[in-house]
Amino acid sequence: MMAAGTAAEAGGEVLLLEKNSALGKKLLITGKGRCNLTNACEIEEVIDRFGSGGKFLYSALHVFPPSAVWQFFADRGLELVVERGRRVFPASGNSADVVKVFKDYLAQQGVIVKLNSPVEEIIIQGEEARHIAGVKLANGNFLSADAVILASGGASYPGTGSTGDGYLMAAKLGHTLQPLYPALVPLKTKEEWVKGAAGLSLRNVRARLLDGEEVLGSEFGEMLITHFGVSGPIILTLSRFVAPRVQQGKPLRLEIDLKPALDDERLDDRLRRDFQEYARKSLKNALKSLLPKALIPVVIALCNLAPERPVHQITREQRHQLLRVLKGLPLTITGTLPLSAAIVTQGGVSLNEVDPRTMASRLVRGLFFGGEVIDLAADTGGFNLQAAFATGYVAGRHAVAATAAKALH
Ligand SMILES: Cc1cc2nc3c(=O)[nH]c(=O)nc-3n(C[C@H](O)[C@H](O)[C@H](O)COP(=O)(O)OP(=O)(O)OC[C@H]3O[C@@H](n4cnc5c(N)ncnc54)[C@H](O)[C@@H]3O)c2cc1C
Protein backbone atom coordinates (compact mmCIF):
# COMPACT_ATOMS: atom_id res chain seq x y z
CA MET A 1 0.00 0.00 0.00
CA MET A 2 2.85 2.38 0.81
CA ALA A 3 4.68 1.38 -2.39
CA ALA A 4 1.59 1.77 -4.57
CA GLY A 5 0.61 5.13 -3.11
CA THR A 6 4.13 6.50 -3.34
CA ALA A 7 4.51 5.34 -6.94
CA ALA A 8 1.26 7.04 -7.89
CA GLU A 9 2.27 10.20 -6.05
CA ALA A 10 5.51 10.19 -8.05
CA GLY A 11 3.50 10.19 -11.27
CA GLY A 12 3.09 6.48 -11.99
CA GLU A 13 -0.02 4.79 -13.28
CA VAL A 14 -0.47 2.18 -10.59
CA LEU A 15 -2.49 -0.99 -10.15
CA LEU A 16 -2.46 -2.69 -6.72
CA LEU A 17 -3.24 -6.40 -6.90
CA GLU A 18 -4.39 -7.94 -3.61
CA LYS A 19 -5.44 -11.55 -3.29
CA ASN A 20 -7.73 -10.95 -0.31
CA SER A 21 -11.16 -9.41 -0.45
CA ALA A 22 -9.89 -6.46 1.62
CA LEU A 23 -6.67 -4.49 2.03
CA GLY A 24 -4.38 -4.67 5.05
CA LYS A 25 -5.58 -7.87 6.68
CA LYS A 26 -2.28 -8.38 8.49
CA LEU A 27 -1.95 -4.73 9.39
CA LEU A 28 -5.27 -5.03 11.21
CA ILE A 29 -3.94 -7.66 13.62
CA THR A 30 -0.59 -5.97 14.29
CA GLY A 31 0.21 -4.81 17.81
CA LYS A 32 -2.74 -6.83 19.18
CA GLY A 33 -5.10 -4.84 16.99
CA ARG A 34 -3.51 -1.52 17.92
CA CYS A 35 -0.76 -1.44 15.24
CA ASN A 36 2.65 -0.47 16.52
CA LEU A 37 3.48 1.31 13.28
CA THR A 38 7.00 2.51 13.98
CA ASN A 39 9.46 3.24 16.77
CA ALA A 40 10.37 6.80 17.73
CA CYS A 41 14.08 6.01 17.75
CA GLU A 42 17.14 6.94 15.73
CA ILE A 43 17.86 5.23 12.40
CA GLU A 44 20.88 3.47 13.92
CA GLU A 45 18.69 1.68 16.42
CA VAL A 46 16.32 0.42 13.73
CA ILE A 47 19.35 -0.90 11.82
CA ASP A 48 20.63 -2.53 14.98
CA ARG A 49 17.34 -4.33 15.60
CA PHE A 50 17.63 -6.11 12.24
CA GLY A 51 20.88 -7.81 13.25
CA SER A 52 23.42 -8.63 10.57
CA GLY A 53 21.15 -7.62 7.65
CA GLY A 54 20.33 -4.25 9.18
CA LYS A 55 22.90 -2.29 7.17
CA PHE A 56 20.91 -3.06 4.03
CA LEU A 57 18.26 -0.64 5.34
CA TYR A 58 20.65 2.28 5.85
CA SER A 59 19.75 4.09 2.65
CA ALA A 60 15.97 3.44 2.76
CA LEU A 61 15.82 4.58 6.39
CA HIS A 62 17.63 7.80 5.56
CA VAL A 63 15.04 8.52 2.90
CA PHE A 64 12.08 7.42 5.04
CA PRO A 65 13.05 7.33 8.73
CA PRO A 66 10.66 6.84 11.68
CA SER A 67 10.06 10.61 11.73
CA ALA A 68 8.83 10.42 8.10
CA VAL A 69 6.47 7.57 8.96
CA TRP A 70 5.15 9.68 11.84
CA GLN A 71 4.75 12.66 9.51
CA PHE A 72 3.04 10.54 6.86
CA PHE A 73 0.29 9.54 9.27
CA ALA A 74 0.10 12.89 11.08
CA ASP A 75 -0.33 14.70 7.74
CA ARG A 76 -3.30 12.47 7.05
CA GLY A 77 -4.97 13.31 10.34
CA LEU A 78 -4.00 10.24 12.36
CA GLU A 79 -3.02 11.23 15.88
CA LEU A 80 -0.15 9.11 17.22
CA VAL A 81 1.14 8.31 20.70
CA VAL A 82 4.49 7.03 21.94
CA GLU A 83 4.41 4.26 24.51
CA ARG A 84 6.91 2.19 26.50
CA GLY A 85 10.03 1.39 24.50
CA ARG A 86 9.23 4.34 22.16
CA ARG A 87 6.63 2.21 20.38
CA VAL A 88 4.36 4.38 18.23
CA PHE A 89 0.62 3.62 18.01
CA PRO A 90 -2.44 5.45 16.71
CA ALA A 91 -3.93 7.39 19.64
CA SER A 92 -7.25 5.70 18.90
CA GLY A 93 -5.64 2.33 19.69
CA ASN A 94 -7.26 0.97 16.55
CA SER A 95 -5.27 -0.49 13.66
CA ALA A 96 -8.28 -0.05 11.37
CA ASP A 97 -7.48 3.68 11.43
CA VAL A 98 -4.05 2.93 9.96
CA VAL A 99 -5.59 0.85 7.18
CA LYS A 100 -8.08 3.67 6.54
CA VAL A 101 -5.24 6.16 6.07
CA PHE A 102 -3.80 3.88 3.39
CA LYS A 103 -7.12 3.34 1.66
CA ASP A 104 -7.72 7.10 1.50
CA TYR A 105 -4.15 7.69 0.33
CA LEU A 106 -4.51 5.13 -2.47
CA ALA A 107 -7.83 6.63 -3.59
CA GLN A 108 -6.44 10.16 -3.45
CA GLN A 109 -3.44 9.22 -5.57
CA GLY A 110 -5.58 7.43 -8.13
CA VAL A 111 -4.25 3.93 -7.49
CA ILE A 112 -6.55 1.31 -8.98
CA VAL A 113 -7.05 -1.39 -6.34
CA LYS A 114 -8.06 -4.84 -7.53
CA LEU A 115 -9.13 -7.12 -4.71
CA ASN A 116 -9.59 -10.91 -4.98
CA SER A 117 -6.76 -10.87 -7.52
CA PRO A 118 -4.03 -13.34 -6.63
CA VAL A 119 -0.94 -12.97 -8.78
CA GLU A 120 0.47 -16.29 -9.89
CA GLU A 121 3.58 -15.34 -11.78
CA ILE A 122 5.71 -12.37 -12.74
CA ILE A 123 6.33 -12.45 -16.47
CA ILE A 124 9.60 -11.22 -17.93
CA GLN A 125 11.06 -10.91 -21.39
CA GLY A 126 14.51 -10.70 -22.96
CA GLU A 127 17.27 -13.25 -22.81
CA GLU A 128 20.37 -11.16 -22.08
CA ALA A 129 18.85 -8.16 -20.27
CA ARG A 130 15.78 -9.61 -18.69
CA HIS A 131 13.06 -7.11 -17.91
CA ILE A 132 9.49 -7.01 -16.67
CA ALA A 133 6.64 -7.71 -19.08
CA GLY A 134 3.80 -7.93 -16.56
CA VAL A 135 2.05 -10.39 -14.31
CA LYS A 136 -0.16 -13.41 -14.74
CA LEU A 137 -3.12 -13.68 -12.39
CA ALA A 138 -4.40 -16.94 -10.97
CA ASN A 139 -7.42 -16.68 -13.29
CA GLY A 140 -5.01 -16.81 -16.25
CA ASN A 141 -5.28 -13.14 -17.23
CA PHE A 142 -2.10 -11.36 -18.24
CA LEU A 143 -1.60 -7.73 -17.24
CA SER A 144 1.26 -5.85 -18.85
CA ALA A 145 3.45 -3.49 -16.81
CA ASP A 146 6.75 -1.65 -17.10
CA ALA A 147 7.56 -2.30 -13.45
CA VAL A 148 6.38 -4.67 -10.74
CA ILE A 149 6.83 -4.14 -7.00
CA LEU A 150 6.68 -7.45 -5.17
CA ALA A 151 5.43 -6.73 -1.64
CA SER A 152 3.67 -9.97 -0.84
CA GLY A 153 4.89 -10.30 2.75
CA GLY A 154 6.41 -13.31 4.46
CA ALA A 155 5.05 -16.77 5.14
CA SER A 156 3.73 -16.38 8.67
CA TYR A 157 0.09 -15.97 9.68
CA PRO A 158 -0.94 -17.26 6.22
CA GLY A 159 -4.58 -16.60 7.06
CA THR A 160 -3.83 -12.91 6.49
CA GLY A 161 -2.76 -13.56 2.88
CA SER A 162 0.99 -13.88 3.32
CA THR A 163 1.30 -17.48 2.20
CA GLY A 164 4.82 -17.12 0.82
CA ASP A 165 3.76 -16.73 -2.84
CA GLY A 166 6.26 -13.94 -3.37
CA TYR A 167 9.19 -16.17 -2.45
CA LEU A 168 8.23 -18.65 -5.15
CA MET A 169 7.70 -15.90 -7.73
CA ALA A 170 11.09 -14.34 -6.96
CA ALA A 171 12.83 -17.72 -7.02
CA LYS A 172 11.30 -18.53 -10.41
CA LEU A 173 12.96 -15.38 -11.76
CA GLY A 174 16.32 -16.61 -10.50
CA HIS A 175 16.45 -14.84 -7.13
CA THR A 176 18.24 -16.65 -4.33
CA LEU A 177 16.11 -17.32 -1.27
CA GLN A 178 17.68 -17.40 2.15
CA PRO A 179 16.15 -20.28 4.17
CA LEU A 180 12.87 -19.37 5.84
CA TYR A 181 12.65 -19.61 9.61
CA PRO A 182 10.09 -18.49 12.13
CA ALA A 183 11.27 -15.36 13.95
CA LEU A 184 9.44 -13.72 16.86
CA VAL A 185 7.85 -17.02 17.74
CA PRO A 186 6.96 -18.86 20.98
CA LEU A 187 9.38 -21.61 22.05
CA LYS A 188 8.74 -25.24 22.94
CA THR A 189 10.40 -26.76 26.00
CA LYS A 190 11.26 -30.31 26.99
CA GLU A 191 10.14 -29.82 30.59
CA GLU A 192 6.61 -30.98 31.25
CA TRP A 193 6.10 -28.77 34.31
CA VAL A 194 5.17 -25.85 32.05
CA LYS A 195 1.75 -27.46 31.50
CA GLY A 196 0.93 -27.05 35.18
CA ALA A 197 2.03 -23.42 35.20
CA ALA A 198 0.46 -22.47 31.82
CA GLY A 199 -0.93 -18.96 31.81
CA LEU A 200 1.57 -17.67 34.35
CA SER A 201 3.02 -14.28 33.43
CA LEU A 202 6.46 -13.49 34.84
CA ARG A 203 7.29 -9.80 35.02
CA ASN A 204 10.68 -8.20 35.61
CA VAL A 205 12.64 -11.37 34.98
CA ARG A 206 15.78 -11.91 32.93
CA ALA A 207 15.95 -14.76 30.40
CA ARG A 208 19.30 -15.94 29.06
CA LEU A 209 19.50 -18.17 26.00
CA LEU A 210 22.54 -20.43 25.87
CA ASP A 211 24.11 -22.76 23.34
CA GLY A 212 26.47 -24.78 25.52
CA GLU A 213 28.42 -22.08 27.35
CA GLU A 214 27.83 -19.42 24.69
CA VAL A 215 25.24 -16.80 25.68
CA LEU A 216 23.19 -16.13 22.52
CA GLY A 217 21.04 -13.43 24.08
CA SER A 218 19.82 -12.02 27.35
CA GLU A 219 16.60 -10.04 27.80
CA PHE A 220 14.90 -8.37 30.76
CA GLY A 221 11.14 -7.93 30.96
CA GLU A 222 7.98 -9.99 30.75
CA MET A 223 7.46 -13.58 29.64
CA LEU A 224 4.67 -16.11 29.71
CA ILE A 225 4.55 -19.81 30.56
CA THR A 226 2.35 -21.73 28.10
CA HIS A 227 1.19 -25.36 27.87
CA PHE A 228 3.92 -26.09 25.28
CA GLY A 229 6.73 -23.91 26.62
CA VAL A 230 7.35 -20.17 26.83
CA SER A 231 6.18 -17.01 25.08
CA GLY A 232 5.79 -13.29 25.76
CA PRO A 233 7.88 -10.26 24.76
CA ILE A 234 11.37 -11.28 25.94
CA ILE A 235 10.97 -14.81 24.60
CA LEU A 236 9.88 -13.57 21.18
CA THR A 237 12.94 -11.33 21.10
CA LEU A 238 15.24 -14.24 21.94
CA SER A 239 13.48 -16.59 19.52
CA ARG A 240 15.32 -15.32 16.44
CA PHE A 241 18.41 -17.20 17.59
CA VAL A 242 16.54 -20.44 18.06
CA ALA A 243 15.03 -21.79 14.81
CA PRO A 244 18.21 -22.11 12.70
CA ARG A 245 19.98 -23.88 15.59
CA VAL A 246 17.31 -26.27 16.83
CA GLN A 247 16.52 -27.35 13.28
CA GLN A 248 20.02 -28.80 13.27
CA GLY A 249 18.89 -30.92 16.20
CA LYS A 250 20.67 -28.81 18.77
CA PRO A 251 18.67 -28.18 21.94
CA LEU A 252 19.37 -24.84 23.58
CA ARG A 253 19.14 -23.86 27.23
CA LEU A 254 17.10 -21.06 28.72
CA GLU A 255 17.87 -19.78 32.19
CA ILE A 256 15.36 -17.55 33.88
CA ASP A 257 16.61 -15.26 36.60
CA LEU A 258 13.47 -14.85 38.70
CA LYS A 259 15.12 -12.24 40.93
CA PRO A 260 17.35 -10.15 38.66
CA ALA A 261 17.23 -7.12 40.97
CA LEU A 262 19.02 -9.06 43.74
CA ASP A 263 22.57 -10.31 43.36
CA ASP A 264 23.48 -13.65 44.95
CA GLU A 265 24.48 -12.09 48.24
CA ARG A 266 21.35 -10.00 48.63
CA LEU A 267 19.08 -12.85 47.57
CA ASP A 268 20.76 -15.11 50.12
CA ASP A 269 20.16 -12.44 52.81
CA ARG A 270 16.54 -12.33 51.79
CA LEU A 271 16.20 -16.12 51.93
CA ARG A 272 17.83 -16.23 55.35
CA ARG A 273 15.50 -13.52 56.65
CA ASP A 274 12.44 -15.28 55.25
CA PHE A 275 13.57 -18.61 56.65
CA GLN A 276 14.07 -17.09 60.11
CA GLU A 277 10.68 -15.47 60.01
CA TYR A 278 8.92 -18.60 58.78
CA ALA A 279 11.13 -21.11 60.64
CA ARG A 280 8.21 -23.31 61.66
CA LYS A 281 6.48 -23.26 58.30
CA SER A 282 6.87 -25.79 55.53
CA LEU A 283 9.18 -24.84 52.67
CA LYS A 284 6.28 -24.52 50.23
CA ASN A 285 4.57 -21.99 52.51
CA ALA A 286 7.77 -20.10 53.27
CA LEU A 287 8.34 -19.39 49.57
CA LYS A 288 4.95 -17.73 49.09
CA SER A 289 6.21 -14.19 49.45
CA LEU A 290 9.08 -14.84 47.04
CA LEU A 291 7.51 -16.76 44.18
CA PRO A 292 4.25 -17.04 42.24
CA LYS A 293 2.20 -19.97 43.53
CA ALA A 294 2.52 -22.05 40.33
CA LEU A 295 6.32 -21.94 40.45
CA ILE A 296 6.76 -23.02 44.08
CA PRO A 297 6.41 -26.81 43.46
CA VAL A 298 8.60 -26.47 40.34
CA VAL A 299 11.45 -24.73 42.16
CA ILE A 300 11.25 -27.11 45.13
CA ALA A 301 11.31 -30.18 42.84
CA LEU A 302 14.31 -28.82 40.93
CA CYS A 303 16.14 -28.55 44.25
CA ASN A 304 15.19 -32.14 45.16
CA LEU A 305 13.58 -30.93 48.37
CA ALA A 306 10.39 -32.04 50.08
CA PRO A 307 7.67 -29.35 49.94
CA GLU A 308 6.53 -30.15 53.47
CA ARG A 309 10.00 -29.92 54.99
CA PRO A 310 10.04 -27.39 57.86
CA VAL A 311 12.19 -24.44 56.92
CA HIS A 312 14.41 -24.70 60.03
CA GLN A 313 15.60 -28.06 58.67
CA ILE A 314 16.86 -26.57 55.40
CA THR A 315 20.65 -26.69 55.34
CA ARG A 316 22.93 -23.93 54.13
CA GLU A 317 23.81 -26.02 51.08
CA GLN A 318 20.11 -26.56 50.30
CA ARG A 319 19.48 -22.83 50.62
CA HIS A 320 22.29 -22.17 48.18
CA GLN A 321 20.80 -24.71 45.77
CA LEU A 322 17.49 -22.85 46.03
CA LEU A 323 19.31 -19.62 45.27
CA ARG A 324 20.91 -21.13 42.15
CA VAL A 325 17.49 -22.21 40.82
CA LEU A 326 15.94 -18.82 41.57
CA LYS A 327 18.77 -17.10 39.69
CA GLY A 328 18.62 -19.52 36.75
CA LEU A 329 15.46 -21.60 36.42
CA PRO A 330 16.53 -24.03 33.69
CA LEU A 331 14.51 -24.90 30.61
CA THR A 332 15.51 -26.95 27.57
CA ILE A 333 14.40 -25.42 24.28
CA THR A 334 13.54 -28.15 21.80
CA GLY A 335 11.98 -26.07 19.05
CA THR A 336 9.72 -23.23 18.03
CA LEU A 337 6.08 -23.13 17.06
CA PRO A 338 5.79 -23.38 13.24
CA LEU A 339 6.40 -20.58 10.74
CA SER A 340 2.64 -20.05 10.47
CA ALA A 341 2.59 -18.97 14.15
CA ALA A 342 5.55 -16.59 13.90
CA ILE A 343 5.10 -12.82 13.96
CA VAL A 344 7.68 -12.47 11.19
CA THR A 345 9.52 -14.67 8.72
CA GLN A 346 13.29 -14.67 8.81
CA GLY A 347 14.87 -15.36 5.42
CA GLY A 348 13.58 -14.59 1.95
CA VAL A 349 14.88 -12.73 -1.11
CA SER A 350 18.64 -12.44 -0.69
CA LEU A 351 19.89 -8.95 0.17
CA ASN A 352 22.79 -9.36 -2.27
CA GLU A 353 20.43 -9.35 -5.22
CA VAL A 354 18.50 -6.20 -4.28
CA ASP A 355 19.92 -2.68 -4.68
CA PRO A 356 19.50 -1.11 -1.23
CA ARG A 357 19.26 2.43 -2.66
CA THR A 358 16.31 1.63 -4.95
CA MET A 359 14.96 -1.80 -3.87
CA ALA A 360 15.44 -2.85 -7.50
CA SER A 361 16.22 -6.43 -8.41
CA ARG A 362 19.78 -6.83 -9.62
CA LEU A 363 18.59 -9.66 -11.88
CA VAL A 364 15.45 -8.38 -13.60
CA ARG A 365 15.02 -4.80 -14.84
CA GLY A 366 11.77 -3.25 -13.64
CA LEU A 367 11.35 -5.60 -10.67
CA PHE A 368 11.34 -4.09 -7.18
CA PHE A 369 10.86 -5.47 -3.69
CA GLY A 370 9.30 -4.07 -0.53
CA GLY A 371 8.59 -5.38 2.96
CA GLU A 372 8.93 -8.77 4.53
CA VAL A 373 9.51 -10.71 1.29
CA ILE A 374 13.10 -9.39 1.57
CA ASP A 375 15.45 -11.31 3.88
CA LEU A 376 14.91 -8.99 6.85
CA ALA A 377 13.41 -9.59 10.29
CA ALA A 378 13.61 -7.51 13.45
CA ASP A 379 12.53 -7.43 17.04
CA THR A 380 9.11 -6.32 18.19
CA GLY A 381 8.74 -2.58 18.71
CA GLY A 382 7.44 -1.29 15.35
CA PHE A 383 10.69 -2.02 13.49
CA ASN A 384 9.21 -4.49 11.00
CA LEU A 385 6.51 -2.10 9.85
CA GLN A 386 9.03 0.77 9.77
CA ALA A 387 11.18 -1.30 7.40
CA ALA A 388 8.16 -2.32 5.30
CA PHE A 389 7.11 1.33 4.97
CA ALA A 390 10.63 2.57 4.19
CA THR A 391 11.40 -0.12 1.60
CA GLY A 392 7.91 0.28 0.12
CA TYR A 393 8.39 4.04 -0.17
CA VAL A 394 11.77 3.69 -1.88
CA ALA A 395 10.52 0.93 -4.20
CA GLY A 396 7.51 3.07 -5.18
CA ARG A 397 9.67 6.08 -6.02
CA HIS A 398 12.22 4.14 -8.01
CA ALA A 399 9.75 1.93 -9.85
CA VAL A 400 8.30 5.11 -11.35
CA ALA A 401 11.75 6.48 -12.15
CA ALA A 402 12.53 3.20 -13.92
CA THR A 403 9.37 3.31 -16.05
CA ALA A 404 10.03 6.98 -16.91
CA ALA A 405 13.57 6.11 -17.98
CA LYS A 406 12.21 3.29 -20.13
CA ALA A 407 9.76 5.66 -21.82
CA LEU A 408 12.66 7.96 -22.76
CA HIS A 409 14.54 5.18 -24.57
C1 LIG B 1 0.22 -11.07 14.86
C2 LIG B 1 1.21 -10.09 14.27
C3 LIG B 1 1.43 -8.89 14.91
C4 LIG B 1 2.38 -8.00 14.38
N5 LIG B 1 2.55 -6.79 15.01
C6 LIG B 1 3.44 -5.91 14.51
C7 LIG B 1 3.58 -4.61 15.08
O8 LIG B 1 2.81 -4.22 15.97
N9 LIG B 1 4.55 -3.80 14.58
C10 LIG B 1 5.36 -4.17 13.54
O11 LIG B 1 6.24 -3.39 13.15
N12 LIG B 1 5.20 -5.37 12.93
C13 LIG B 1 4.25 -6.23 13.38
N14 LIG B 1 4.08 -7.44 12.74
C15 LIG B 1 4.87 -7.73 11.53
C16 LIG B 1 4.29 -6.95 10.34
O17 LIG B 1 2.89 -7.10 10.30
C18 LIG B 1 4.87 -7.42 9.00
O19 LIG B 1 6.26 -7.44 9.06
C20 LIG B 1 4.39 -6.49 7.88
O21 LIG B 1 2.98 -6.53 7.78
C22 LIG B 1 5.02 -6.84 6.55
O23 LIG B 1 4.46 -6.01 5.58
P24 LIG B 1 4.37 -6.49 4.07
O25 LIG B 1 3.64 -5.41 3.35
O26 LIG B 1 5.69 -6.90 3.58
O27 LIG B 1 3.47 -7.81 4.09
P28 LIG B 1 1.94 -8.05 4.52
O29 LIG B 1 1.50 -7.04 5.51
O30 LIG B 1 1.85 -9.48 4.87
O31 LIG B 1 1.15 -7.75 3.17
C32 LIG B 1 1.32 -8.54 2.04
C33 LIG B 1 0.05 -8.51 1.20
O34 LIG B 1 0.29 -9.19 -0.03
C35 LIG B 1 -0.84 -9.99 -0.33
N36 LIG B 1 -0.44 -11.09 -1.20
C37 LIG B 1 0.39 -12.13 -0.89
N38 LIG B 1 0.56 -12.94 -1.94
C39 LIG B 1 -0.18 -12.39 -2.94
C40 LIG B 1 -0.42 -12.78 -4.29
N41 LIG B 1 0.11 -13.88 -4.82
N42 LIG B 1 -1.23 -11.99 -5.05
C43 LIG B 1 -1.79 -10.86 -4.53
N44 LIG B 1 -1.61 -10.46 -3.27
C45 LIG B 1 -0.81 -11.22 -2.49
C46 LIG B 1 -1.34 -10.46 1.02
O47 LIG B 1 -2.70 -10.88 0.95
C48 LIG B 1 -1.12 -9.24 1.88
O49 LIG B 1 -2.24 -8.40 1.93
C50 LIG B 1 3.11 -8.33 13.21
C51 LIG B 1 2.86 -9.54 12.57
C52 LIG B 1 1.90 -10.41 13.08
C53 LIG B 1 1.63 -11.69 12.34
- What domains does the chain contain, in order, with CATH numbers? 2-180+344-408 (3.50.50.60), 186-336 (1.10.8.50)
From ligand 1's centre to the CA of 16, what distance in Å?
15
Task: Work out which ligand 1 atom sits closest to the CA atom of 372.
Answer: 26
Give yes or no for residue 30 CB within 6 A of ligand 1: yes
3-state helix, strand, coil in the chain (%, to 5): 40, 25, 35
Give yes or no for residue 118 CB within 6 A of ligand 1: yes
Q: Which residue among 15, 21, 26, 339 is best mutated to probe the pocket of ligand 1, counting the most ligand atoms within 8 A of its Cβ? A: 26
Give yes or no for residue 162 CB within 6 A of ligand 1: yes
pTM confidence score: 0.93
Q: Which residue among 30, 70, 165, 346 is best mutated to probe the pocket of ligand 1, counting the most ligand atoms within 8 A of its Cβ? A: 30
Residue nearest to atom 27 of ligand 1 (CA): 153
Specify whether the CB–CB gap between 229 and 185 falls below 8 A: no
Task: Look at strands 38-39 and 87-90 and give their pairing.
Answer: antiparallel
Collect all residues with Cβ–Cβ distance below 8 Å to 203 and sequence separation of at least 6: 221, 222
- The pLDDT, as a whole number, for residue 13 is 97
Give yes or no for residue 176 CB within 6 A of ligand 1: no
What is the residue-level pLDDT of the chain in tens, covering all 409 positions?
999 999 999 999 999 999 999 999 999 999 999 999 999 999 999 999 999 999 999 999 999 999 999 999 999 999 999 999 999 999 999 999 999 999 999 999 999 999 999 999 999 998 878 999 999 999 999 999 999 999 999 999 999 999 999 999 999 999 999 999 999 999 999 999 999 999 999 999 999 999 999 999 999 999 999 999 999 999 999 998 898 888 888 889 999 999 999 999 999 999 999 999 998 999 999 999 999 999 999 999 999 999 999 999 999 999 999 999 999 999 999 999 999 999 999 999 999 999 999 999 999 999 999 999 999 999 899 999 999 999 999 999 999 988 876 665 5
Q: Where are the alpha helices (DSSP H) in 137-232?
A: 165-172, 193-197
Instruction: Please report how the helices 2-9 and 383-408 are oriented relative to each other, as an axis angle in degrees rounded to 10.
Output: 40
